[in-house]
Structure formats: C-alpha cells, structure tokens
Amino acid sequence: MKRLFSNYLIPISVFFTLLFSVNCQRDDICDAIEVTPRLIINFIDEDPNNTDTLVKEVESLAVKLIVDKDNPDSEENRFFTEIDTIENGDGTMTISSPSVTALSLPLSTLEDELTFTFTRNFGNEDASLVETDTIVFNYTRINNFINRACGFQTIFDELSVDLRTNVWMSRFQILNTTIRDEEDRHLLLFH
C-alpha cells in the first residue's frame, strides 16, 4: 500500500498541482496611469498693465455642459462645478459655487464638439452681476488601446475654441492643441 501511494499518488498530485498553477491567468486589473485626460484651463488677469500672465480668481463660477442647444435651461444640461443650494429660514434659497483660478473639464469620447456656459457670480442676488459666456470646444479623437483591463485611452487632438460671447471673458490662448495628459495647461481664458 505504501508503495502504491509513493509510486502513483504523489506524482499524480504533483502533476495536477503544476497543471493548475501553470494554467492560472493573472487578474485583469487596470493599474495603468494612462487615463483619458481632461482639458486644463487657467483663468488669467487681462489687465493691460500686467506684463506677466498672472492667474486671476473667478468669483462663484458655474460651468454647465449644454446638451440641448435649443434650450439652454433644459434639465439635460449638466453643471460641472460644485453648486450648493442652501435653504434659508425665510423660504428663500441661496445658491453658491466655488471661486476658482483653474478648472479641468472632461471632453467627450463620443463627440467632436462640446458647448459649455461659464457663469461668473453664479447665484448672486444682484442679477446685473451674473455674467455668462458660451464656449464651443472642437477636437478630433484618437483612441489608443492600453490593455484588456483598462480598455482605451482617448487623446484629443487639434483643439480649437470658439468664444461665442464675450460678456466677461475678453479672449483666450490655446497653449496645447493636443490633450494627452493633465500635467500641462491647455487653455488660458483672460478676463
């Protein structure tokens, strides 16, 4: 009996152990750093006396993606900045959004054009201080396969900007027409 165990059972168990360990596949875990980058925007002081490109804060900025271009107030349109609605005790609402000097916007991996509205002083009780500009971003999409776990990374190339209104923004400067990472600024908006 001992001989049967040592002659047949041990080699068979070693064989099956090796067989199962060799055939195991590694887990498909996406640990790649490459992700689809966002558009990095800095807001710059337009003061003609200022020779440097100094960042300038935008008070209470609200950025909205316009999905329904025929109806800018549609519920389909989405805010991309944090909007807080606070109920006051007297039945009124206070709306606030952050003040920023830079912003990162996601571009669409399905479309070559996106329209955003940028509203300064959003939620201000004095409606004359609330100013909105509309910007259209055009680009081409390049899809790069990373691996089976991560899928594709989209790089945006040939970025162009159309400032449709200039209520509070005076001009723009494109620094990088290719958006392949989030390490560099891509666009300067002057106000």
DSSP 139-162: EEEEEEEEETTTEEEEEEEEEEEE
d(CA 46, CA 51): 10
pLDDT, one tens digit per residue, over 80-91 is 555 555 555 555
Give a yes or no: residue 2 inside a domain.
no
Give a yes or no: residue 18 inside a domain.
no
Which residue positions in the chain have pLDDT lower than 50? 92-93
User: What is the per-residue pLDDT for 81?
Assistant: 59
Give a yes or no: residue 168 inside a domain.
yes
User: What is the per-residue pLDDT for 158?
Assistant: 96
Give a yes or no: residue 169 inside a domain.
yes
Give a yes or no: residue 73 inside a domain.
yes
Q: Which domain holds residue 46?
A: 28-190
- Structurally, the chain folds into a number of domains equal to 1
Give a yes or no: residue 12 inside a domain.
no
Give a yes or no: residue 90 inside a domain.
yes
d(CA 153, CA 176): 18
d(CA 53, CA 73): 34
Tell me if residue 95 falls in helix, strand or coil.
Answer: strand
Sequence letter at residue 168? W
Sequence letter at residue 85? T
* Whether 154 contacts 146, CB under 8 Å: no
Tell me if residue 103 falls in helix, strand or coil.
Answer: strand
User: What is the per-residue pLDDT for 87?
Assistant: 54
CA dihedral of 120, 122, 124, 126, whole degrees rounded to 10: 60
Of 139, 189, 116, nearest to 37 (Cα)?
A: 139
